[in-house]
Structure 1
Amino acid sequence: MTAPFVSKPMAVEEQWLDFNGHLNMAYYNVLFDRGVDQLGAILGFGPAYRERTGNTTFSAEFHLCYLRELHLGDKVTASFQLLDYDAKSFHFYQELIHPDGWISATGEGVGLHIDQSGPRVAPMPEEILAKFAKLSDAHSALPRPERVGRVMGLRRK
């Protein structure tokens, strides 16, 4: 388990551009999601897990900060830092990182383990919790990102 986890590079696709010629805001989420899917495969989540168990993960909340525009052909990796977890949920931080080292966007989220028969939040199996424990150990030495816990609102003087 790397600290933080970093996805394989992903490229901005032409159909994702808005009329301003840069990545439409919705597709920043797509890039974050595709990056976390790569980690999900390592943790044991994904389509096969859902089919086998009837369980999956849902996003409960996600806060995204746009820092720098992405354009057609730009490549980024998505990082993932586990901040906390329990038997049913996990709190995490992500960054979209350009190969030149700058950060395009950050995201902070809470994911839930879901039993789809309800649907309802349900405990994760022990084998996945053991993988979260290893991930937590690897990520516990990382500094807490400055953008975690940001409050959204208008700034008044």
Structure 2
Amino acid sequence: MPRSTSHPAPFLSNPRAVEKGWIDYNGHLNMAYYNVLFDRSIDDAFEALGMGFDYAQTRRLTTYTAEVHICYLRELHLGHTVQCNFHILDHDEKRIHVSQEMRHEDGWLAATAESLTLHVDMNGPKVVPFAPDVLAKIEEMHAVHAALPRPERAGRAVGIARKAG
């Protein structure tokens, strides 16, 4: 895969363990906590892009999720550790469209997520352009990620596929 000294392709989050309180009565990770894991992992990528906690605190600029689509592919259980990748599919001056894969520490794919995130001025709140330094980092990471194959599940819609006839 293509690599950049500043932005690996795709970006990899820190590993995270499934927590006891996240297990539901079916004995596996509750669906809501897949989103928590994806969200915490996207925070790792946003920190690398210069728009993490300090960015929000000092500049009063942050991100809001506008849309997310998760595909649950394989159950996770207590004791499992996962890592998520982060692949920029597209961006403009105010939005970033990404795909993520959540992989078990043994390498198998547990879930995928696709999301659209908005850049927000917390004083509004209102959607505003990325700060120039952050936009430059997004553009650099996107250029590296553009060489990656498009994720298989990117662009999916929710619905029931029906056979014609």
TM-score by length of 1: 0.97
Distance 2:18 2:151 in 1: 25
Structure 2 residue identity aligned to 1:30: V
Which stretches in structure 1 are left out of the alignment for 5+ residues?
Answer: none
- Deviant stretches of 4+, over 6 Å: none
Partner of 1:3: 9
Structure 1 residue identity aligned to 2:71: C
1:117 and 2:132 equivalent?
Answer: no
Distance 1:151 1:54 in 2: 34
The percent identity for this pair of structures is 53
For residue 36 of structure 2, the aligned residue among 30, 37, 51 is 30
Distance 2:52 2:138 in 1: 15
Q: How does 1:1-157 map to 2 (within 5 A)?
A: 1-157=7-163
Deviation at 1:50, TM superposition (A): 1.1
How many residues are aligned here? 157
What SS class does the counterpart of residue 39 from structure 1 fall into? helix
Structure 1 residue identity aligned to 2:90: D
- Aligned-residue CA RMSD (Å): 0.9
What SS class does the counterpart of residue 127 from structure 1 fall into? helix
TM-score by length of 2: 0.92
| Cα distance per residue 1:6-29 (max 9 Å; x no partner) | 112110000000001100000000
Distance 1:19 1:86 in 2: 42
Distance 2:28 2:66 in 1: 28
Distance 1:131 1:97 in 2: 25
Deviation at 1:155, TM superposition (A): 2.5
Deviation at 1:117, TM superposition (A): 1.6
Distance 2:79 2:154 in 1: 29
Work out whether residues 47 and 53 of structure 2, in 8 Å CA contact, stay in contact via their aligned partners in 1: no
